[in-house]
Chains A and B, each alone.
Chain A
Amino acid sequence: MPSTSDGSVTQYAGPLPQPTPETQPFFDGLKERRLMVQRCEACGQAYYYPRPICPHCMSDYVHWFQASGKGRVYSFVISHRSRPGFEAPYVIAVVELDEGPRMMTNLIGIEPDPEVLRCDMPVEIVYDEVTLEVTLPKFRPVEQA
């Protein structure tokens, strides 16, 4: 039975990613609570998901860097059907990182209510250690000053 590093026992039922050699550094970073994404040295654009050839200009002169973990909600939906690992209602969102790339994620720490959720609302990363091996990048709202 898997358990997390804080000792709690879990039986996570949700779908787990299986990294490939190209994406392993991303998932390794998450386990260290760092959001690692790539930037192209040729065109200067950051991008996601990880791959060794830039999707903007096809250069292979790319490097990993640690993103801020801050961004805004680009769009979201509220699923009313439970799935393994997800009890409805839950929020699926696409977040646009401050560095530019967008990523699929879940919004947590907020009511799954269309009256509360807003596109463009500022969010920050939460590292969700779903198993001993896998940490997933989730996001929560940033309290506005």
Chain B
Amino acid sequence: MPPANPRRDLRGSVAIVGASESNRIGVRPDASALTLHAEAAKNALADAGLGIKDVDGLFTAGVTSVQLGEYLGIVPRYTDGTSVGGCSFIIQVEHAMLALAAGIINVALITHGESGRSRIGGIGAGHRGIPPDSPQGQFEAPFGTMGPPTLFSLPATRHMHQYGTTQEQMAQVAVSTRQWAAMHPMAMMKEPITVEDVLASRPVCWPYTLFMCCLVTDAGGAIVMTRADMARGLQRPPVYVLGTGEGTEHNMVSMMADMTTSRAAKVSGKAAFEMAGVSQGDIDVAELYDAFAFTPMLALEDLGFVQPGESGAFVADGRTAPGGEFPMNTNGGGLSYTHSGMYGMFTLIELTRQLRGEAGERQVPNANVGIAHGPGGMFAAAGTLIAGNANSL
């Protein structure tokens, strides 16, 4: 029989020891998706003080792990290509933790790379069309639903109807996030914007205007994980995995049981908080995937930071902006920093930097415990990581 809560024994057992973007992010007409993976892997390993030959567990999404292993020239003994959208890398932290804690591997490398803007390399998420005989090809695509702006927006409309959430409140998320981006040297969009600017920007798919939609960029990112004992002997301050969770529900957003709450996110968040043994009030910094302005609002509700329907009022007064009481998406998010397609990796990188205290101008004071969370697909899946520095153990 397993112990009453097997997750609790894993708390703090592994750590993130390296994290980095690719050499440059944003517009990269010089790099294929795989090169973005490789650059990020090289940089994250250098950050950790490890080499590629130390890696024995390879985790990735968007490309297959064999495509990546070939490109990197390694023969890992453990591999995971869980690919359920942008949160895949957050989910892979849980999978890497299990393989590390079991002693099957010693060094896990999780990479992301996507030529979302320049479309170079011919592989990766977004390059696959929708087969006309797939469920989506039969029951969604014939109604002109191609692309996240038309799909991720449906839950927002229902939330507005049910709770009185407004476009102005969503616009505030974009405004607050832009303020964080202004302090990130790699962010694409730094010009300050107002709620009025957001509402007046080009309509993309009502209720979303352009500034409520994420960027489309080229970027890579990677993290390196080891067991805690090894992590303490490496060059960077370990960022310990305190709690993890994952979940899936539908694939097509039209099959989402209740568009005002993600069951996948609730399952994922509950598992992570229970494992970490912390409450929402203990979270010092939050990186919540913002594919669109409403996306992190629903996460605030499903993760229990606010009650259902209260996220609009919560974000409306700039509470998530620099200086606010709830620092959220401190890298500038998918809305203003970068969004190559599967953004979840960048929540992990920023959480690592914040918990190490190396986020420079945008550093959240006394950030000891933080959360990275994201959906995959159109709220189809979810992954959650609660992490902490040495002060959190």
Q: Are A119 and B157 touching (Cβ within 8 A)?
A: yes
Nearest A residue to B259 by beta-carbon distance? Answer: A75
Contact B142–A81 (Cβ < 8 Å): no
A75 to B133, CA, bound (A): 25
B179 contacts A by Cβ under 8 Å? no
Interface hit among B79-87, B144-152, B295-303: B144-152
Assembled-state Cα–Cα distance A120/B161 (Å): 9
Residues of A within 8 A of B131 (CB): 18
Produce 1/0 per residue, A128-139, CB < 8 A to B.
000000101000
Determine whether A77 belongs to the interface, using a CB cutoff of 8 Å to chain B. yes
Interface positions, chain A 77-115, Cβ under 8 Å from B, are: 77-81, 83, 85-86, 89-90, 92, 94, 102-106, 114
Binds B, one of A9-17, A38-46, A62-70: A9-17
A92-B206 Cα distance, complex, nearest whole Å = 10
Most chain A beta-carbon contacts within 10 A, residue among B142, B203, B255: B142
Q: Does B56 contact A (CB under 8 A)?
A: no
Q: Is the CB of B137 within 8 A of A18?
A: yes
A76 beta carbon closer than 8 Å to chain B: yes
Measured between alpha carbons, how far is A80 from B144 in the docked complex, in Å? 11
Instruction: Assess the A80–B140 pair: CB atoms within 8 A.
Output: no
Measured CA separation A15–B142 after assembly (Å): 5
Q: Within 8 Å of chain A (Cβ to Cβ): is B205?
A: yes
A80 with B204, Cβ < 8 A, contacts A74-B158, A75-B157, A102-B255 known: yes
Alpha-carbon distance between A107 and B206 when the two chains are bound, in angstroms: 14
Contact of B144 among A17, A18, A49, A106 (CB under 8 A): A106
B133–A15 CB distance below 8 A? no
A119 touching B161 in the complex, CB below 8 Å, given contacts A103-B139, A104-B139, A114-B207: yes
Give the chain B neighbours of A48 by CB distance below 8 A.
139
Q: Assess the A75–B142 pair: CB atoms within 8 A.
A: no
Is the pair B137, A15 in contact by a Cβ cutoff of 8 Å?
yes
CA distance A40 to B152 in the complex (A): 30
Pick the most buried of B130, B131, B204: most chain A CB atoms within 10 A of its CB: B204
Q: Mark B183-207, 1 if CB is under 8 A from A, else 0.
A: 0000000000000000000111111
In the complex, the answer to whether B157 meets A49 with C-beta atoms within 8 Å is no
Question: What CA separation (Å) do A15 and B154 show in the bound complex?
Answer: 20
B109 CB to nearest chain A CB (Å): 37
The answer to whether B150 touches A79, judged by C-beta atoms less than 8 angstroms apart, is: yes
Decide yes or no whether A52 CB sits under 8 A from chain B: no
